[in-house]
Structure 1
């Protein structure tokens, strides 16, 4: 039986660009479905599984930011590469906040787009093969019981964790040895309507160091990666 091709949903209303991207993606052996507006994009995602979406921001009917937000509110974790003629950092941050995995400004180099597509697909494949966390996770002298929302610290003290602490801890441990971006943390832990400051997340990480690190000033497990996000290492 032939191997199933990787499927991509291409959402772009500029006809010439749509055709050029479709042709080049197909030359890379991807199976491409094209739609021209935001409403059609949402319909396509509900009807069919795609491995990746390339999504233009400026679309008729429903703009790309709204499409992205809608998809994430449905808990659909399809990787999304957003394309935009807007190149300010504020536009980029908004796209990432609303759930895009990557953001590319027009005009772009075709090779760069193909490389980003490849990297997003590879990252998605890696995360889908990750083993689910056990109910009780042990690292060093620490023990976390995800079901009971409690942990035993390095000093042997049993403490209850808040729901947000537990969600953040689980997210970091699930992505062990990888940097989890601030945007991903906001989406997974705080949802889409509330955006705490970076300091809020920092305070959570400081609490984790207090509970679990032998030396909180030289952390072994919980690291802040300046300007990017946070990482759990073991």
Structure 2
């Protein structure tokens, strides 16, 4: 099924009041039909969408324009989507949704491990893509009705700056890593199932649990002294994960 035939019959622009304000979205892909449909659909939904066709230009576009979101095809000329994602992560924590024909678990995990926030397998329903886009933009732009500053043991969450510090160190986090850790910091010692985290952090009712697993592993590498023996982000076997903040002086 072609992407033009997928989008044309069922796509309906959201009303102005149903989504976030106009945001800048970088679309990266060299398939002209798919790219045109994505750009047109995003613009119809109220966003400013820009297209680049290879991975090298994508990195430069992020460096120059700092978009609010990147839709990144995995298969690209120049450098592929995985390498482009790695390079973008060195520059910016912009949310990245990777689009790919490869749907095996190890393919999804490889995309998440290089820093993608979401991974969407082609062919996908147009509504699913737009919902993913809106969910990411809403989560990274809208303040939640919680205190602006939250302290939990060694951890401090500054919502206004979207910063999390451990002791005197400000963590370098992707947008989704930040959202996950922020959610756990606001609910210390509570055990979450992976499906609960998918709903609360990703906004998905149905999704791949490996998405949560990979992000937990990446967070452990950034917050734990020994990621193989975590003391903060704990696995509760057969259930899910629990965040233990520790004490301010631990």
Where 2:49 maps in the other structure, the secondary structure is strand
Unaligned runs of 5+ in 1: 138-143, 148-160, 210-221
Confirm or deny that 1:182 pairs with 2:213.
yes
Match of 2:88 among 54, 61, 71: 71
Alignment of 1:146-225 (within 5 A): 171=181, 175-177=185-187, 179=197, 181-190=212-221, 200=228, 203-204=229-230, 207-208=231-232, 224=236
State which structure, 1 or 2, has the greater radius of gyration over its C-alpha atoms. Answer: 1
Q: Tell me how far apart the structure 2 counterparts of residues 173 and 85 of structure 1 sit (CA, whole Å).
A: 31
Post-superposition CA distance 1:94-131 (Å, at most 9, x none): 10111111111111111111111111111212479973
* Superposition CA RMSD, Å: 3.7
Q: TM-score, normalised by structure 1?
A: 0.64
Q: Which has the higher contact order (CA 8 A, sep 6+)?
A: 2
Alignment size in residue pairs: 182
Assess, with a 3 A threshold, how the Cα gap between structure 1 residues 127 and 82 changes in structure 2: closer, same or farther: farther
Aligned position for 2:205: none
Unaligned runs of 5+ in 2: 1-19, 157-166, 202-211, 246-250
Assess, with a 3 A threshold, how the Cα gap between structure 1 residues 145 and 80 changes in structure 2: closer, same or farther: closer
Match of 1:91 among 107, 117, 141: 107
Where 1:86 maps in the other structure, the secondary structure is coil
Q: 1:225: Cα distance to partner?
A: 8.1
Alignment of 1:29-108 (within 5 A): 29-74=46-91, 76-108=92-124
Assess, with a 3 A threshold, how the Cα gap between structure 1 residues 225 and 173 changes in structure 2: closer, same or farther: farther
Contact 1:12 1:35 in 2 (8 A): yes
Assess, with a 3 A threshold, how the Cα gap between structure 1 residues 117 and 232 changes in structure 2: closer, same or farther: same
Match of 2:125 among 103, 109, 112: 109
Contact 1:97 1:186 in 2 (8 A): no
Q: 1:72: Cα distance to partner?
A: 1.7
Q: 1:223: Cα distance to partner?
A: 6.6
